[in-house]
Amino acid sequence: MSAVIVIVAIGLLGVSGLPGLFFGPRSPVGERVAATLVLAGSILGLGAAFAGMGKTAVFARSWAVPGGDLALRVDGLAAMFLVPLFVVSSLGSIYGLEYWAAREHAADGRKLRAFYGLMSAGIAVVFVAHNAVLFLAGWETMAIAAFMSITTEDEREGVRHSGYVYLVATRVSTLLLFAMFAVLHAKTGSWDFAPPGRPMDSSAATAVFVLGLLGFGIKAGLMPLHVWLPGAHANAPSHVSALMSGVLIKTGIYGIARVCSFLDRPPIGWGVALLLAGSVSGVLGVAFAIGQHDLKRLLAYHSVENIGIIIMGLGVAMLGRATESPTLVTLGVAGGLLHVWNHALFKALLFLSAGAVLHSTEAREIDQLGGLAKTMPRTALAFLFGAVAICGLPPLNGFVSELFVYLGLFHGLRVDSLWILSAIGVPALALIGALALACFVKAYGAVFLGQGRSDRVSHAHDPGLSMLGPMALLGVACTFIGLVPLAVEPVLRSATNSWAPELAPAASPLDVLSPLRLLSAAGGSLLALLAAGAVLVWRAPDPSRGLTWDCGYAAPSRRMQYTSSSFAESLVGFFSWALRPSVHGAAPAGLFPSPTTFHSHVPDTVLDRALIPLSSAGARALRWFRWVQHGNVQLYLVYILATLFVLILMGR
Amino acid sequence: MGYFVDPVLVLVLLANFFLLGTSRLRAIINGTALQGVLLGILTLLVHHELSLRPVLIAVGTTVIKAIVIPWMLSRAMREAAIVHEVEPFIGYILSLMLGAIGTGLALLFVGTLPLVPQHVGSLLIPTSLSTVLTGFILLTTRRKAITQVAGYLVLENGIFVMGLALIEALPFFVEVGVLLDLLVAIFVMGIIILQISREFASLDTTRLSALKE
Amino acid sequence: MTTEPILSPAVHVLIALIFPPLLLGVINRTKAAFAGRQGPPLLQPYYDLFKLARKGSVLSTTTTWVFRASPVIGLATALLASLLVPFGGQESPVSFAGDLILFAYLFGLARFFTVSAALDTGSAFEGMGGAREATFACLAEPALFLGLMVLVKRTASLSLTTMLGTAVAAQWRSAGAALVLVVVSLFVVLLAENCRVPVDDPNTHLELTMIHEVMVLDHSGPAFGMILYGASLKLFALGALVVDIAVPLRTGNRAVDLGVFLVGMMLLSVVIGVVESTMARLRLHQVPSLLVAACLLSAFAIVLAARG
């Protein structure tokens, strides 16, 4: 029953943008219909997902397509991923009513809404598909719809470039998935995306794992397969970026989680690979983020970092499965999957507030902004919530999921075969947390605090309710999960049981392994102390006002403030072996120097310094074969004739 | 009736050689029309008893191959205002020699094929192979688009003849398919010829290589 | 005894509230002794706090509510963190599996708002200090976690109370070398997080060379008092970690253990004073090397701990 409701919800999401195509480009009817349909579908889907918690709903029907039946399966793991999809897509659709209003964006608004709905529906099909062909159909729909959504403003060159990079990356990932399903079918004879009925030999299992890790890793944005992520997230409209960063990259995580569940006792190498890949992705992701000066690119790199944290959690869970330790499995799955929810929530919050800034100031460059907390106080508060959450600071939700991963790693310390991995994982996670804090203080401080650095901020103002409402809801959700983590424990238990059913009886529940109630108490007491302090500050006599201390310099200007690039300079220097920043500028020379400029930029090392030069070199090498394509129709026909002769001769 | 099949096939082969050797476009169009008539007669001859269906197919074949298509080609010729074929890539003598060698090889090759007894010794298969080869030579060595269309027509004629050999197994399956196929192709080619002549102010297909990347 | 459940946390909270500024007094007295001066009275920090509480304050026009909130957050987090650390091996009022992670991240929350407040003023100096603070924290956090990991490995427990409780004395016998390395490493982290020489000089007046001092340049009055008090609480909490490991005397008698602990904290302050007087502040680009050395010491300690 709940499977049918989920299908209806998916259908509503998919068609949400289509009625708008029949109305005029500037008509508000289309966008309101789209938002209503998305909201209705999301409420239905959320209801079905929560109602079916702990049970598995299956829907199977035969169809005309070869390769198995039309089979859907909504179990604990799928429900865990469906919830953020429905939440983020509905809030994003409401956000888009003002952010991409039909009146202002007549040329591309209807196209955007149509593909937004299709992308959401495609993602949902990916999460519930039980049959490989259905899975790939949903995967492709999601990928193409995402491409069309990213390139909404395709009159800009940067948007086109990032769209093409995304397209190439998603084609490669689909090919790898085709290969993985082919191996699965060859070894097990079924087209089901489920643990195989027959045991597979280890080389086939390793092939499936590697292909799955690479194919799904490209979509998830695991370093160094992340090359499409920064450009795509930066250049898409902000609510599309929120949906992509919050949910679309999680389809990669879902795929990896499913593939990892195929073996009951996986080789320990799988867990090691996941843990190391997650650590590298986390550290380098946040290192790249620190060097960015474009607000949305910075947020995109943080997605790479958080995917690393999620993969680390899954790695801990896999290590637990390999060593048959239910504690590690529970903590690892809880940490990884709760971080999926948390990341969807706070990353969507960050992208929506960054979008509000962009909408109001038309600037994405951090070093042209500043002082926006005075003119856009509500947006600043929303961004602050998102920033505190993404740094994993108590009392918000990021801390809870990172705590689970830490606990899992610490438990691994006590196991003889795993302590080295924990000894690598814990400092990596601590480093990630500290770097993320530095990066978000830089972003929040440079954009919202201090003074405006250019004239772009002069007309900044808070957006209206349809943009502020979703941000407020997301902020409340982050706070709720952070203060009352016990509320999500049933969801996590259901997901763990469906992922590793054989360990379910022996596993201790999550609230025994980790102090969920005490966390709530700690969070509550922190808030109480803060409230008490706030009251003290309010009651204090009104302070007098003056200028900031400037060491006696008589004429401070707004350009003298610390910029975001200056803030990040030493950290970028630490990581310059990976970041390879490009710096242009001359130091002022002489006693009365003439004006000079300075410009620094951190391109994506894997894309801009490795892949693109390699492919250009490859294209140059292949140009030698151009003589085959001479454009002469007659010679092309001679090729056909020659092939015929060869076939006749071979046939004899 | 079966006795007349082989002479008509020989006439078809002669039409091939004629097409390979001539340089006048009007003659090429007339030659393909003649081949069409011959094929219509051949359709009637191949059948052991005459009924409505073979007659209809024969009449249809003759009308399309001998009347409709040559008329369309003449119209294209008038619109583009061309009269002569320019010097082909390999010269008329060489084309003729290639055609002759090809026909000889086809006759030899047929001996090695595992044929049904009624086809052994018949000229149907060698004629079809030879006609196909003629079509290919016309397509690959001639410059003007109209001659290439004629080459395509000859190619389809060759396949039509092969279909006649399968008359017992697949009654007119191949023939009807070929006829439909021809109609569509000629429509398309008509449009393309018009566009090429407009675009390049000539029907010289070597100019098409300007379109390459 | 029936008053035990209330008495023990109450004593803990009282110590945490009253004792920390005394540490600053001891440090300053030690430095003065080294310089041949008499120095300020031991209770001078308390007098300073009372004076600041009565003063008025000046706010910069560039700042927002974040600036006024940051001292409050710094103090609240330091208070909560001090409730997690056991003093002298006695049970801390709040203890659970994983409280060491909460301990570290509470200070992270404080750091977020302190650096944000520094950027809020729109001053180049404070931004500079904030950038340095954020950068050095990136190396101090892993060092802290690595040091605590050694204890987790040896004591097989995840709560600060059990890690630093009676088990530590036994560990000194079996893994003494590792624990020495951990003490040194955590001491370096203590110096870094509390902005002591050789990482930062709390008495310098040059904005270009400050780290922590410059971040709080624009605070005044009661807010500045809260910042000073919170900083001393942070020194106390982190120092308690070091003293609990370095002085593993656990007689079981509550008063004796607490007394020994407090004496240990004073000795720690004297050591800090000695270090501040005998060493010069490191050049800024050498500080990362010091912190990386602390990380490596802890990593080596883990290897040693895993062997035993």
The reported pTM is 0.82
* Mean pLDDT, rounded, for C241-268: 87
Chain C nearest C-alpha distance from A404 (Å)? 9
* Mean pLDDT, rounded, for A79-91: 94
Q: Which residue has the higher pLDDT, C57 or A198?
A: C57
Which of A474-483, B121-130, B131-140, B179-188 has the lowest average pLDDT? B179-188
Closest Cα in chain A to C98: A407
Task: Give dist(CA A47, CA A56) in Å, integer.
Answer: 15
In this predicted model, what pLDDT tens digit does every residue of B66-78 receive, in sequence order?
888 888 888 777 7
pLDDT over 70 (residue B199): no
Spatial CA neighbour of A215 closest among A168, A167, A253, A176: A176
Place of tokens 């892949």: A611
Chain A nearest C-alpha distance from C41 (Å)? 30
Positive or negative torsion for Cα A43, A46, A51, A55: positive
Residue A118 binned pLDDT confidence (cut-offs 50, 70, 90): very high
* Mean pLDDT, rounded, for C145-171: 85
Going by the DSSP 8-state scheme, the letter that residue A585 receives in this structure is E
pLDDT over 80 (residue C270): yes
In DSSP notation, A503-536 reads: GTTTPPPHHHHS-HHHHHHHHHHHHHHHHHHHHH
Closest Cα in chain A to C103: A394
pLDDT over 50 (residue A178): yes
Contact with chain A for residue C119, Cβ under 8 A? yes
Instruction: Return the number of CB contacts < 8 Å for A and C.
Output: 233
* Mean pLDDT, rounded, for C232-259: 87
In this predicted model, what pLDDT tens digit does every residue of C179-201 receive, in sequence order?
889 999 999 999 999 888 888 87
Is A546 close to C58, i.e. CB distance below 8 A? yes
Contact with chain A for residue C64, Cβ under 8 A? yes
Strand-pair partners of C59:
A545
In this predicted model, what pLDDT tens digit does every residue of A49-71 receive, in sequence order?
888 777 788 888 877 777 777 88
Task: Give dist(CA A246, CA A243) in Å, integer.
Answer: 5
What is the domain count for chain C? 1
Chain B nearest C-alpha distance from A647 (Å)? 14
Interface of C with A in 70-109 (CB under 8 A): 72-73, 75-77, 79-80, 94, 96-99, 101-102, 104-106, 108-109
Question: What is the pLDDT at residue A564?
Answer: 86
pLDDT over 80 (residue C69): yes
A62-76, A96-110, A513-527, C227-241 — most confident range: C227-241
* Mean pLDDT, rounded, for A301-323: 94
Query: Which among C64, C73, C141 has CB closest to A374?
Result: C64
Residue A500 binned pLDDT confidence (cut-offs 50, 70, 90): confident
ipTM: 0.93
* Mean pLDDT, rounded, for B79-101: 79
Which of A432-441, C39-48, C156-165 has the lowest average pLDDT? C156-165
Could you tell me what percent of chain C has a pLDDT over 90? 37
pLDDT over 70 (residue C4): no
The domain of C171 spans: 4-307
pLDDT over 90 (residue C160): no
Is B140 close to A631, i.e. CB distance below 8 A? no
Chain A nearest C-alpha distance from B85 (Å)? 16
Domain ranges in chain A are 264-533+563-570
Residues on A contacting B at a C-beta cutoff of 8 Å: 629-635, 637-638, 641, 648, 652
C57 contacts in chain A (CB < 8 Å): 540, 543-544
Mean per-residue pLDDT of chain C: 87
Could you tell me what percent of chain C has a pLDDT over 70? 96
Query: Which among B109, B136, B213 has CB closest to A629?
Result: B213
Q: Which of A626, A634, A644, A649 to mutate to test the interface with B (most CBs of B within 10 A)?
A: A634
Q: Which residue has the higher pLDDT, B122 or A358?
A: A358
Is A631 close to B205, i.e. CB distance below 8 A? no
Which pair of structure tokens corresponds to residue C173?
């016998």
Mean per-residue pLDDT of chain A: 88
Question: What is the pLDDT at residue C1?
Answer: 43
Is A426 close to C124, i.e. CB distance below 8 A? no
Q: If you count DSSP H runs as helices and E runs as strands, how many of each does chain C have, helices first?
A: 12, 1
Chain B nearest C-alpha distance from A643 (Å)? 13
Residue C163 binned pLDDT confidence (cut-offs 50, 70, 90): confident
How far is residue A494 from each of residues A47, A49, A79, A486, A580, measured CA to CA in Å? 16, 11, 9, 14, 45
3-state secondary structure chain B: CHHHHHHHHHHHHHHHHHHHHCCEHHHHHHHHHHHHHHHHHHHHHHCCCCCHHHHHHHHHHHHHHHHHHHHHHHHHHHHHCCCECCCCCCCHHHHHHHHHHHHHHHHHHHCCCCCCHHHCCCCHHHHHHHHHHHHHHHHHHCCEHHHHHHHHHHHHHHHHHHHHHCCCCCCCHHHHHHHHHHHHHHHHHHHHHHHHHHHHCCCEHHHHHHHCC
C121 contacts in chain A (CB < 8 Å): 450, 548-549
* Mean pLDDT, rounded, for C70-84: 92
Which of A27-31, C23-27, C104-108 has the lowest average pLDDT? A27-31
Is C138 close to A406, i.e. CB distance below 8 A? no
In this predicted model, what pLDDT tens digit does every residue of C104-116 receive, in sequence order?
999 999 999 999 9
A427 contacts in chain C (CB < 8 Å): 142, 145-146, 295, 299
Chain A nearest C-alpha distance from C33 (Å)? 32
Question: What is the pLDDT at residue B21?
Answer: 87
In this predicted model, what pLDDT tens digit does every residue of A384-412 receive, in sequence order?
999 999 999 988 999 999 999 999 999 88
Q: Which of A629, A637, A639 to mutate to test the interface with B (most CBs of B within 10 A)?
A: A637
pLDDT over 90 (residue A625): no
Closest Cα in chain C to A514: C97
A411 contacts in chain C (CB < 8 Å): 158
Going by the DSSP 8-state scheme, the letter that residue A230 receives in this structure is H
Q: Which residue has the higher pLDDT, A85 or C170?
A: A85
Is A641 close to B211, i.e. CB distance below 8 A? no
Is C137 close to A537, i.e. CB distance below 8 A? no
Contact yes or no for A59/A123 (Cβ under 8 A): no
Is A561 close to C123, i.e. CB distance below 8 A? yes
pLDDT over 80 (residue A531): yes
How far is residue B193 from each of residues A67, A555, B79, B186, B188, measured CA to CA in Å? 45, 77, 10, 10, 9
Contact with chain A for residue C300, Cβ under 8 A? no
Contact with chain A for residue C192, Cβ under 8 A? no
Question: What is the pLDDT at residue A589?
Answer: 84
Is C120 close to A450, i.e. CB distance below 8 A? yes
Residue A418 binned pLDDT confidence (cut-offs 50, 70, 90): confident
Is B209 close to A638, i.e. CB distance below 8 A? no
Chain C nearest C-alpha distance from A407 (Å)? 6
Chains A and C lie in contact, requiring 3 or more CB pairs less than 8 Å apart: yes
Question: What is the pLDDT at residue B212?
Answer: 65
In this predicted model, what pLDDT tens digit does every residue of A556-583 receive, in sequence order?
777 778 888 888 888 988 888 888 888 8
Residue C5 binned pLDDT confidence (cut-offs 50, 70, 90): low
Closest Cα in chain A to C301: A423
Q: Which residue has the higher pLDDT, A349 or C172?
A: A349
Query: Which among B140, B210, B213 has CB closest to A641?
Result: B140
Question: What is the pLDDT at residue B15?
Answer: 92
Closest Cα in chain A to B112: A652
Residue C28 backbone zone (phi > 0: left; psi -120 to 50: alpha; other: beta):
alpha
In this predicted model, what pLDDT tens digit does every residue of A432-457 receive, in sequence order?
999 999 999 999 999 999 888 888 88
A649 contacts in chain B (CB < 8 Å): none
C306 contacts in chain A (CB < 8 Å): 419
Contact with chain A for residue C167, Cβ under 8 A? no
First and final C-alpha spacing in chain C = 39
Residue A232 binned pLDDT confidence (cut-offs 50, 70, 90): very high
Instruction: Return the number of CB contacts < 8 Å for A and B.
Output: 31
* Mean pLDDT, rounded, for A164-180: 94
Question: What is the pLDDT at residue A502?
Answer: 78
A631 contacts in chain B (CB < 8 Å): 208-212
In this predicted model, what pLDDT tens digit does every residue of A201-217 receive, in sequence order?
888 888 999 999 999 99
* Mean pLDDT, rounded, for C240-269: 87
Question: What is the pLDDT at residue A68?
Answer: 75
Contact yes or no for A76/A451 (Cβ under 8 A): no
Closest Cα in chain A to C226: A533
Query: Which among A631, A637, A648 has CB closest to B208?
Result: A631
Q: Which of A401, A570, A571, A572 to mutate to test the interface with C (most CBs of C within 10 A)?
A: A570
Closest Cα in chain A to C121: A450
